Amino acid sequence: AQACLASEDIAWNSTAPDRTHKAQTASMTNVGTSRPSRAAATLMLDDALTKIIHRDGSKGSKHAKHNGMIPLGVHSSFGDFPPDLAPQAWSSVTIQGMALHKGLKKSSSAPGLTKGHGTGTMHAAFVGLGGAPRGLAPPPPQAGALKQRPVPSSQFRTFYDRGDLPLAVFQGAGGGKIAWKVDIEKLDFHHYLPIFFDGAREQEDPYRFLAVQGCYDMLERGGSKLLPVVPQLIIPIKTALNTRNPTIICVILKMLQTLVKSGDMIGEALVPYYRQILPVLNIFKNHNSNIGDKIDYSQRKGMNLGELIAETLEVLETHGGEDAFINIKYMIPTYESCMLA
């Protein structure tokens, strides 16, 4: 019996360092990694589903790059190739923004010849030299309010490519998490949080995944550090909304709701900046998908733009104090209060 007890003690003592090492590794993993975010994972799943459905690549990032709608990035993981060794690099890519603004170089009210519609404009005289008729008036031009704008490159892409961000993708079985190199509470939120919000408009991974997931991690554990940073987040939010990209707008609105709910007085601090945030929401407020009596199986993703805008406005009014409704009503006249009985 004593021999058996001695052997058990030896076995216990021999495995103790191994168990201690596993416990320390598990604790470090729990502290250094983030919890999976459904918002960031949904974007990755949607991209994979889009590649399966559109096998011709018409909805992929490569097609968007050739149209100049998203940043090109670098030629390889080591940077760009020398011009003398790769003279044809990006030769087939449209200059950023030219595809969109090709018809906006000349003012729509400037008089001139118009093919197929005679000459002049809506407000010009349609009489030529000698009293001869100049033709029919051209139709009014399209406003293009819902047309997508090119997505400008973000600071997050630059900082991540240089290795200045204290994070990496967690290569674990669970997936959808970030391996933070430092404790989130010790980060300088004035420096990092605007960078992560700026990167939320990216359309390529790992930039988009790290930026979106990093924003949720910092908002979850920011606490009292979030309120002083609110003014620095307005320009990244406004830049992302002005792209008119429905996917980017949905991502920003979800992050905006989380920001408002992450601390006290944050909703009231956003009220003075409604003039920068709400104009785009006014444009897409009625942008719903009318499917009749069918079932929208993708509603769990929260990507219905019209419903998401209505939900965001209600969150802003609920947490924005007594001046929130009048300011929302000023920018979005069709909005009705959710707090009035």
pLDDT one-digit tens code per residue, 255-289: 999 999 988 899 999 999 999 999 999 999 888 87
Task: State the pLDDT at residue 83.
Answer: 77
How far is Cα of residue 317 from the mean position of the Cα atoms in its chain? 23
Closest CA to 274 of 331, 339, 198: 331
Encode pLDDT of 97-122 as tens digits. 444 444 444 444 454 544 444 444 44
The torsion defined by the Cα of 58, 62, 65 and 67, in degrees rounded to 10, comes to -30
Q: Which two tokens stand for residue 101?
A: 């603004």
Q: In sequence order, which residues have a C-beta less than 8 Å from that of residue 128 and are 6 or more positions away? A: 119, 134
Hey, is 330 helix, strand or coil? helix
Dihedral sign (CA 309, 314, 319, 325):
positive
Task: State the pLDDT at residue 21.
Answer: 40
Task: State the pLDDT at residue 254.
Answer: 92
Rounded distance between C-alpha atoms, residue 111 and residue 133, angstroms: 15
User: Residue 38: is its pLDDT beyond 60?
Assistant: yes
Helix, strand, coil in percent for the chain, rounding step 5: 50, 5, 45
**DSSP 8-state assignment for residue 89:** T
> For 292-312, b where at least 16 C-beta lie within 10 A, e where not — what string?
eeeeeeeeeebbbbeebbbbb
Rounded distance between C-alpha atoms, residue 190 and residue 287, angstroms: 34
Q: In sequence order, which residues have a C-beta less than 8 Å from that of residue 108 and are 6 or more positions away? A: 121, 141
Task: State the pLDDT at residue 129.
Answer: 57
**DSSP 8-state assignment for residue 301:** G
Between 267 and 176, the more confident residue is 267
Q: Using a cut of 0.85, tell me whether the model's pTM lies above it.
A: no
